[in-house]
């Protein structure tokens, strides 16, 4: 009998803002009462989660006095230890306050850019004090509606300068934190800079310490742009840059829906879980999603359970995929190696001469069938539960 019960060893985490989401949207107000951070920690712990993540102001109000801040943090740390929950990822809210309306690191206003550094330093201190491993930067409002007023080349330089400042701040403080950058193509801005995983990976290489920096890709964000999320994550994994991940569900090319993991594109979710498990990714499985606006508090916890359960079911399906003789038989044929020929494809003068002279059977290649139809149907049947 399979057991899909989440356990801390599965490393499932939730942002306070996810299960704490009260259902407000641009068209309508809150539909659920607030749940306190401590209630969230308690409930998630009872559901088998590993830990929580937060924005500075999810825990400490932006106008809290230093002593208020300290007592809130103390109480929260106590709750984490009481309920055996980890604090995994910290981040800064650089989008809610009206002063961030033109962005934070890339605001045209120099005082906003400087205030951003101050707010980030404080939020990084908070994350380090609570033992976070990873610090996420999501450029919520780092973008424009019109390019008439902001130079996008200059904006990228400002963003780089700001992040470099914080890289040096973290090193000077001796915090063992890594930075993870989260791309998104649009929303809430008309366009957000560095919109995809690929563009973020390129940007990271230009920072003062690229080794300390990786990405935090989100299913919804690549899918909003019509892109294949598995391929985006693959590129990050291949470069050792997958530091964190935001799992959720999304219909392609729509607004950021943040549905329960697996609620949409179940096959995409399957290939994602399969790749994460096979790649040895050891980081948290973070759900950055929220319950439908139709739900009451009970529905919120159903949503949280659903995210974790679906992940575990898909993980088990990935194991079955490996055990399925018919599927594996086809894969063996597809992946058959021609080792002699393979050896000829690493460059040497001799190999180049040999390859130039080699006669390929082009008709055999033209007529070769890859069997993907059968393989995909078998995968679909496996997912539908009849294999």
| Catalytic residue ranges | 55, 58
Q: Quick check: 288 binds Mn ion (CB under 5 A)?
A: yes
Which of 165, 292 has the CB closer to Mn ion?
292
For residue 182, the minimal CB distance to ligand GCO (Å) is 5
Count of residues near Mn ion by CB under 5 A: 4
* Residue 90, φ and ψ in degrees, nearest 5: -115, 155
- Binder to Mn ion among 56, 58, 142, 218 (CB under 5 A)? 218
Other C-beta atoms within 10 Å of 331: how many? 15
Minimum gap (Å) between residue 141 Cβ and ligand GCO: 11
Question: Of the candidates 144, 83, 94, 143, which has an alpha carbon nearest to the alpha carbon of residue 118?
Answer: 94
**Angle subtended at Cα 193 by Cα 189 and Cα 194, rounded to the nearest 5 degrees:** 135
Q: Name the nearest CA neighbour of 124 among 212, 14, 13.
A: 212
Interface with ligand GCO, residue 184, by CB under 6 A: yes
Binder of ligand GCO out of 102, 142, 182, 264 (CB under 6 A): 182
DSSP symbol at 8:
G
State both tokens at 280: 């040895």
**Distance from C-alpha of 282 to C-alpha of 11, rounded to nearest angstrom:** 9
> Binding to ligand GCO (CB under 6 A): which residues in 22-81?
none
**Residue 136 interaction partner, one of Mn ion, ligand GCO, none, beta carbon < 5-8 Å per kind:** ligand GCO
- Picked from ligand GCO, Mn ion, none, the partner binding residue 91 (CB below 5 to 8 A depending on kind) is ligand GCO
Within 334-363, the residues that bind ligand GCO by CB under 6 A are none
Reported as half-sphere exposure (CB side, CA atoms, 13 A), residue 121 has a value of 15
265 vs 288, beta carbon nearer ligand GCO: 288
Query: How far is the C-alpha of 207 from the C-alpha of 211, rounded, in Å?
Result: 9
Q: Which of residues 138-167 bind ligand GCO (CB under 6 A)?
A: 138
| Token pair in block for residue 164 | 């470099």
- Residue 181 binds to ligand GCO (criterion: CB under 6 A): no
Contact flags string 87-126 toward ligand GCO, x per CB under 6 A = ----x-----------------------------------
Return the sign of the alpha-carbon dihedral for residues 106, 109, 112, 117.
positive
Tokens of 371: 């069997």
Calculated CA dihedral for residues 95, 232, 193, 28, nearest 10 degrees: -40
Q: Which does 264 bind (CB under 5 to 8 A by kind): Mn ion, ligand GCO, none?
A: none
Residue with Cβ nearer ligand GCO (184 or 274): 184
Contact set with Mn ion (CB under 5 A): 218, 246, 256, 288
């Amino acid at each position: 009998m399979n057991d899909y019960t989440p356990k801390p060893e599965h490393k499932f985490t939730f942002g306070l803002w996810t299960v704490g989401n009260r259902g407000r949207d641009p068209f309508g107000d809150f539909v659920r009462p607030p749940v306190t951070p401590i209630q969230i920690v308690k409930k998630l712990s009872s559901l088998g989660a590993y830990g929580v993540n937060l924005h500075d102001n999810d825990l400490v109000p932006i106008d809290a006095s230093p002593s208020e801040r300290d007592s809130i943090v103390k109480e929260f740390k106590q709750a984490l230890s009481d309920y055996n929950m980890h604090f995994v990822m910290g981040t800064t809210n650089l989008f809610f306050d009206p002063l961030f309306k033109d962005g934070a690191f890339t605001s045209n206003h120099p005082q906003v850019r400087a205030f951003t550094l101050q707010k980030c330093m404080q939020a990084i201190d908070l994350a380090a004090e609570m033992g976070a491993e990873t610090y996420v930067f999501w450029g919520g409002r780092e973008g424009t509606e019109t390019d008439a007023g902001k130079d996008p080349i200059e904006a990228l330089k400002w963003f780089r300068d700001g992040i470099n400042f914080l890289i040096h701040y973290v090193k000077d403080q001796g915090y063992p934190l890594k930075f993870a950058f989260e791309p998104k193509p649009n929303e809430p801005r008309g366009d957000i800079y560095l919109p995809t995983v690929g563009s973020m990976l390129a940007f990271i290489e230009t920072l003062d310490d690229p080794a300390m920096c990786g990405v935090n890709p989100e299913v919804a964000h690549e899918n909003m742009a019509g892109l294949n999320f598995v391929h985006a994550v693959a590129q990050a994994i291949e470069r050792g840059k997958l530091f964190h991940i935001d799992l959720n569900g999304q219909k392609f090319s729509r607004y950021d829906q943040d549905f329960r993991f697996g609620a949409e594109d179940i096959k995409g979710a399957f290939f994602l879980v399969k790749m994460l498990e096979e790649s040895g990714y050891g980081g948290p499985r973070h759900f950055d999603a929220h319950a439908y606006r139709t739900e009451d508090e009970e529905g919120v916890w159903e949503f949280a359970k659903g995210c974790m359960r679906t992940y575990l079911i898909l993980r088990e399906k990935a194991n079955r995929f490996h055990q399925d003789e018919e599927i594996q038989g086809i894969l063996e044929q597809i992946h058959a190696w021609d080792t002699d020929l393979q050896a000829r494809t690493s460059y040497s003068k001799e190999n180049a001469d040999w390859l130039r002279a080699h006669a390929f059977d082009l008709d055999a290649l033209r007529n070769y069938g890859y069997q993907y139809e059968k393989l995909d149907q078998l995968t679909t049947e496996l997912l539908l539960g009849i294999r």
